[in-house]
Structure 1
């Protein structure tokens, strides 16, 4: 049976995610801050677009959200023209934004006050995963909310898991970003070392990707890194936002994250190089720009 869906936020992730739902036979109404993007989506997929989040949410069974940060999320959910202004009691809001656990809990309470459900459901897999329908989704909410949303999320995810109550999805996404940042820096260091040692970097990756050093980042990003191309994934500006969230939560729960702090500083260097919109693998370009002269041994 079809489910009436509102989808709020049509960035590089939300655009294809909403498209998967429409193509699966669910009537989707979208909202995007830039109206032209919403019009383009409706023309491509055959759905509808609305002038405000409240209008998009009207009569929707599920309200999906994928925006930029905590402030954007608050605005489209509980702002003057936010989704809760138009949501029907009994509807469920599912938030795919990578945001703080605090705002997830805050908006879950706000939704409950309107007679609606709310589940934080940040995703991993990047633009490629959104387009291919192969995302990993980490959910925070009740079992009932999870089971209600799960069949819809399966249209663009290969793994959908309930991690705990409100905020647990966001906390799990923080773990993901902490691990990703460290892996990308390690890959950048290894590739820079191979380059400086005069090795064939592609051949090196071909060998070590078959062993314990392999990672998603190595397999999927090494070729573009070798080619010095950094327009193929999650932007540095967004990674900085995510790592700031991780570090703030770490201060709250008493975690020591020295490597995450260091990688966050390295991404700050990339931003200073003008690379805020480069993808996160651009840590290699930073290392190449800061290469030190080799020691000459007698």
Structure 2
């Protein structure tokens, strides 16, 4: 499914995880008229969300999901996802029969398949649904959402996901959404390195790089990264956006999956090491476009 926002029937939804992505995503659900209950490991963040959007908060995932038809989550990694789904206080212990769990975490395809199987054994549904678009996409409600899981469950949740997505697409069976997100990150990694090299080359050659990017941005070199990060890369500004630490986590997932599938990812592996260099420079929280800072350090002009 890849269409304009759809009108979803109002329902009861739980949202687990209120970080930089989850907080605005849950907010869009509330603004769309859904009755939203939120959970966050740090309870103060859940209380802050309720103060901003209404709804209610719960102290455990199990408590948050007890009346929900749909449970959405956006946490940090595989272990975080297991911690909110499994166990006596996990979401799966409290969800009503046939409810759908939608996971927006960028996690491994293995954990998506694992939790899909556990959910089905319990009479529940599980959709892996990682997103692309970053913090700005979450705030503006224009995320791209890549889904894996059963068609019937996807059809139930897709209209709701358009509250914060501009494209909501089922890629295939369980795990397919996570694999598609890996493809996305592989594409971005190579593109940002290429853009970094191009801007650095242009600056070292004495070119007016804002003018150059404006010109080539109208041709075949155009990209989201150039349009949205080119100017800040020229100005050496990185205190925003998708953090290097998060990108390394995502590329680690890509490389692990590639090893399992015996697929060579030489450029991705190289860029991952370049991001490790950026981390060593103290740039773990810098935007991923900070790859150009590494080149400037190497040239002695950071």
What range describes the TM-score normalised by the shorter chain of this pair?
Answer: over 0.9
Could you tell me how far apart the structure 2 residues matched to 1:4 and 1:109 are?
A: 24
Asked if residue 140 in structure 1 is aligned to residue 148 in structure 2, the reply is: yes
* Partners of 1:48 and 1:228 in 2: CA distance: 42
User: Structure 1 residues 29, 236: closer, same or farther in 2, change over 3 A?
Assistant: same
List per-residue Cα deviations over 1:46-80 (Å, max 9, x = no partner): 12111011111111100001000000001011134
Counterparts in 2 of 1:79 and 1:199: CA distance versus 1, 3 Å: farther
Q: Does 1:272 align with 2:302?
A: no
What TM-score, normalized to structure 2?
A: 0.95
Between the two structures, name the one with larger relative contact order (CA 8 Å, sep ≥ 6). Answer: 2
1:197, CA displacement in angstroms? Answer: 0.6
Q: Indicate whether 1:226 and 2:226 are aligned.
A: no
More displaced, 175-184 or 283-292?
283-292
Once the two structures are superposed, what CA deviation does each residue of 1:22-67 show, in whole Å capped at 9, x if it has no partner?
0000000011111111111110011211101111111110000100
Of the three residues 223, 232, 235, the one matched with 2:243 is 235
Structure 2 residue runs of 5 or longer lacking an equivalent are 1-8
1:291 Cα deviation after fit: 1.1
| C-alpha separation in 1, matches of 2:111 and 2:239 | 30
Q: TM-score, normalised by structure 1?
A: 0.96
What is the CA-CA distance between 1:292 and the residue it aligns to?
Answer: 6.3
Q: Which residue of 1 aligns with 2:3?
A: none
CA distance in 2, matches of 1:271, 1:123: 24
Q: 2 CA distance for matches of 1:58 and 1:9?
A: 16
Per-residue displacement from partner, 1:161-207 (whole Å, max 9, x unpaired)? 11000000000000000000001101110010011111111111111
Q: Residues of 2 paired with 1:30 and 1:40: CA distance? A: 11
Distance 1:34 1:287 in 2: 38
The Cα shift of 1:227 comes to 2.1
Secondary structure in structure 1 of the residue aligned to 2:76: coil
Partners in 2 of 1:291 and 1:39 — Cα distance? Answer: 48
Partners of 1:20 and 1:75 in 2: CA distance: 25
Larger CA deviation: 231-240 vs 242-251? 231-240
1:261 to 232, 253, 269: 269
The residue matched to 1:138 in structure 2 has which SS? Answer: strand
The CA RMSD over aligned residues, in Å, is 1.0
